[in-house]
Amino acid sequence: MIKFLDLHAQYQSIKADIDLAIASVIRETAFVGGSYAQTFENQFAALIGANHCVGVGNGTDAIEIAIEALGLPRGSEIIVPGNSFIASSEAVTRSGHKVVFADVDEDSYVLTADDVRAKLSDKTSAIIAVHLYGHPCDMDSLVDLAKEKGLKIIEDCAQAHLAECRGRRVGSLGDIATFSFYPGKNLGAYGDAGAITTNNEALALKARKIANHGRVAKYDHEFEGRNSRLDGIQAAILSAKLPHLDSWTETRIQIADYYLDALKGIQGLLLPVRQPWAKQAYHLFVVRTEQRNALKEYLAQKGIETGIHYPIALPKLAAYEYLGQGCESLFVNRSDSLLLSLPIGEHLSLQEAGVVADAVRSFFGTCVS
């Protein structure tokens, strides 16, 4: 059995640290916010290379709060890539803006400046740059375009902890950035958690107030905010995991490099392309084939779990029927039936990756070398 995700195995490998972290928070009853949340925020900001980090309840809230903190004109349009998890676009609508879906690059599956250009209007106020599957967007060209057009950039880094664009870590390359620590993410809590990072002090402060009832002191509320705070147990768990993130990411890259080599040259199978300027965090390793469903079934029969990210492109979801963007002839609208995510993660050995690669090759009738 080759699992897609194995959170229990990860826990076993760092059990003493996790148990100690949880016990410490309980002992100090630092359940919401508090010293553990603050410590994690400082550690994470330093790791990402951002001046500020604000812990919040989850990655979806993080996007919503980030948009709100930017104070964009109400009802303005925000450009979102058509292939992502719904959180990327949901947050746009919920914060009172209009979603405009853009296409993505066919090699690396992320939004490019050209994709954004194709969707610009005089109502466009911002771009959600989703570093999907852990591949960074080309932030240099997005930032140039944003400057030229007066747009804000929100980086959605939910799948891209430690990914780099030309040697710089994602999370401080736009105006504001958001992270998810959902358990299955590359850095995952034991429940919901998220964070906002930015180099802009005023934005960080605004985001912190929004996430904590608009308050400046205990019962002194400057405006109506909401409740979306990082809880202490999650923060302590994240701090305990942080020292391992680099090596877990390196393992993901090794497995991806192995797949890229072992699966090359197969007729009918397209591999993801990592741009030469990118360090990809490989939250997912997504291949493309016309025989997606048959391959998925074949691998399942061999005990190999796979996933689909995402089976229905965002513009085609029932939730977005009202926008009428589902029938546009975009790559995202026609590629969703071809995508298959192979197992990748720190739980996988290179030998297991070999078993996966052999099974894929045998499906396509290519000799196992």
Ligand X SMILES: *Cc1c(COP(=O)(O)O)cnc(C)c1O
Q: Which residues are catalytic?
A: 185
Residues 6 or more apart whose Cβ sits within 8 Å of residue 35: 28, 232
Residues in the chain: 369
Cα gap 81→102, rounded to integer Å: 5
* Half-sphere exposure at residue 307, Cβ-oriented, CA atoms within 13 angstroms: 14
CB closer to ligand X, 25 vs 80: 80
Closest C-alpha to 63, from 315, 116, 72: 72
Angle at 48 between CA 91 and CA 67, to 5 degrees: 20
End-to-end CA distance of the chain: 22
CB closer to ligand X, 230 vs 295: 230
In degrees to the nearest 10, what's the CA dihedral of 45, 48, 49, 52? -30
SS3 letters across 72-124: CCCCCEEEEECCCCCHHHHHHHHCCCEEEEECCCCCCCCCCHHHHHCCCCCCE
Residue 278: CB minimum distance to ligand X, A: 17
CB closer to ligand X, 87 vs 127: 87
Residue 45: CB minimum distance to ligand X, A: 18
Residue 256: CB minimum distance to ligand X, A: 18
Residue 88: CB minimum distance to ligand X, A: 5
Residue 7: CB minimum distance to ligand X, A: 15
CB closer to ligand X, 92 vs 116: 92
**Across-strand partners of 178?**
156, 196
CB closer to ligand X, 77 vs 156: 156
Residue of closest CB approach to ligand X? 59
Residue 89: CB minimum distance to ligand X, A: 9
Interface residue list for ligand X (CB under 6 A) = 58-60, 84-85, 87-88, 130, 156, 158-159, 180, 182, 192, 194
Please report which helix (H) or strand (E) contains residue 177, including its range: strand 176-180
Residue 28 has which token pair? 């100090």
Question: DSSP label at 178?
Answer: E
Cα gap 79→116, rounded to integer Å: 7
CB closer to ligand X, 173 vs 266: 173
